[in-house]
Chain A
């Protein structure tokens, strides 16, 4: 069996006495959608932040495409194709929707130490940005300011920006949070289509989406991996039912 695209080994992160990430090891294989579920406060976002390079783990290693990337910063990881989307929408509010995406294209296309030509006239950037907007269904809002979008549209834009970095592995932090039914269905559909070209790690509370999309599911409870396997195996795991799904089904 070939090595996994992403291998996380014995990752630990503590804040004082709180073990936010407690000896986490997991693999993400090329081509799969790997969902991370777990109750609030289980350390899901903290885990993604360590994988994306925003946070340094206290110990452990992160191996991506066979290389140890534990010491690399976020920018270096993005350039290697390891991108993330944020749970709390992180946009450039005074930029237009198109510019938000075009600047991500710009990051990987040529030098940005160019001082005179207006960036907004670069067709190569705009065309690629437009494609990403089409992918997420936002092409109609290209010229609006990002700050003026609805919450659901901001979620879509967040995703378009991540796609514009041409990721090989996309870390999605609750991409459906706060979207309406229709938008959520659209996004689930999009993830399904993207699966053939991008590997995804997905944090999500929407269990229907998780079980519809994921090839494998890891359950994170108090910073530890409580279970990992196919959706069916995880659904039937007694420990998981007790820790997490049980509450959901009762509710």
Chain B
């Protein structure tokens, strides 16, 4: 898979600049609710929340795809596990967000541990196909889960409570909880990718042979990253269910997995900020273009082609090209 990431991945320099870009994004997001209220367009808060949910999912995928060169084509399954953790637990009378998140994280991590241990025995296109197959198995499991609406999905009675408080009932509350978790996910992954663990993971992306020749066995590190990535995506699924107050197998279809890869490629692989930017821009474009025309996907396709042709490093590569993301050394 290195053939794919080597050209797309950013050099590891420029970390400080990347951190600044992330802080700027968080600051911009933080002022969305008051701005939306002032402009009398509260639906902007809903869109921004969706943007951030997918930014968390894209960040999680960037850990394995961008830093680990593991192209998972079944990552949306974990959005599904997170969503259904909310649906199943709230039906059982457990409506607290914290407990739902613990369940989502555990379910996602367990599924990733088992499927990852099998998938990681393959390489290249076989890895892509086997992760796709596992993702589809999870999808069809919930499609045939008639007690939870099967194909149609199921509406939630209400949003989750946070330690007994109705923090998420309003759109603004959900927005800030999501923003908090996005910042936490970014901060955690930022540290992780620079840690000893992250170094082994990125080293394996660059050359597995080299890592073995200095005494590492890559598999345990790759599998751990795969599980961490799934757990974070599970959290995004919990938020997605709360945002829509509705849960459906459509969240975990392979289209969704493909869309997550598109977000990464659009933003730039292997830099975290790229994943975040890509997800924010993709969801914003979806919403924006959809209002102009029902054929919005055509326009989006055009934008993707342009980015792929003009800047293989994605949007963050484009910024670098024009020296907007320079390192102050």
Contact = CB atoms under 8 A, between A and B. Distances in A.
Given A117-B196, A118-B195, A145-B13, A52 B203 contact: no
Interface residues of A, number: 39
A125 B92 CA distance: 51
Interface string B8-20: 0101110000000
A221 interface: no
A94 interface: yes
B197 A164 contact: no
Contacts of A86: 209, 213
Nearest to B9: A94
A113 B199 CA distance: 10
B151 interface: no
Contact of A94 (B11, B197, B214): B11
Given A94-B9, A115-B197, A83 B191 contact: no
B196 A165 contact: no
Interface string A106-121: 1110011111111110
Contact of A90 (B192, B198, B207, B215): B207
Nearest to B192: A115
A239 interface: no
Given A92-B206, A112-B197, A103 B213 contact: no
A113 B197 CA distance: 5
A40 interface: no
B194 A119 contact: yes
Given A94-B12, A95-B12, A103-B214, A119 B195 contact: yes
Interface residues of B, number: 29
Looking at B194, B198, B213, B216, the one whose CB has the most chain A CB atoms below 10 A away is B213
A54 interface: yes
Contact of B210 (A91, A111, A114): A91
Given A75-B212, A94-B12, A161-B214, A103 B207 contact: no
B195 A115 contact: yes
Contact of A106 (B199, B213, B217): B199
A118 B207 CA distance: 21
Contacts of A122: 196
Looking at A78, A83, A93, A94, the one whose CB has the most chain B CB atoms below 10 A away is A94
A201 to B, nearest CB: 15
Contact of A75 (B9, B13, B207, B215): B215
Nearest to A105: B214
Q: Is the interface of B mostly helix, strand, loop or mixed?
A: helix
A79 B202 CA distance: 21
Given A90-B209, A92-B210, A95-B12, A75 B217 contact: yes
Looking at A54, A107, A112, the one whose CB has the most chain B CB atoms below 10 A away is A112
B196 A93 contact: no
A73 interface: yes
B207 A91 contact: yes
A84 interface: yes
Contact of B194 (A54, A84, A108, A120): A120
Contacts of A78: 212-215
A187 interface: no
Interface string B205-228: 011011111111100010010000
24 contacts: A52-B213, A74-B213, A78-B213, A79-B215, A90-B209, A90-B210, A90-B213, A91-B207, A91-B210, A93-B6, A94-B11, A94-B206, A96-B12, A103-B203, A112-B221, A113-B197, A114-B195, A114-B196, A115-B197, A117-B195, A122-B196, A145-B11, A145-B13, A162-B213
Given A78-B214, A83-B213, 13 more contacts: A90-B207, A90-B209, A92-B203, A92-B207, A95-B202, A112-B197, A114-B195, A115-B198, A117-B195, A118-B195, A145-B11, A162-B213, A165-B214
Interface of A: 52, 54, 73-75, 78-79, 83-84, 86, 90-96, 99, 103-104, 106-108, 111-120, 122, 145, 161-162, 164-165
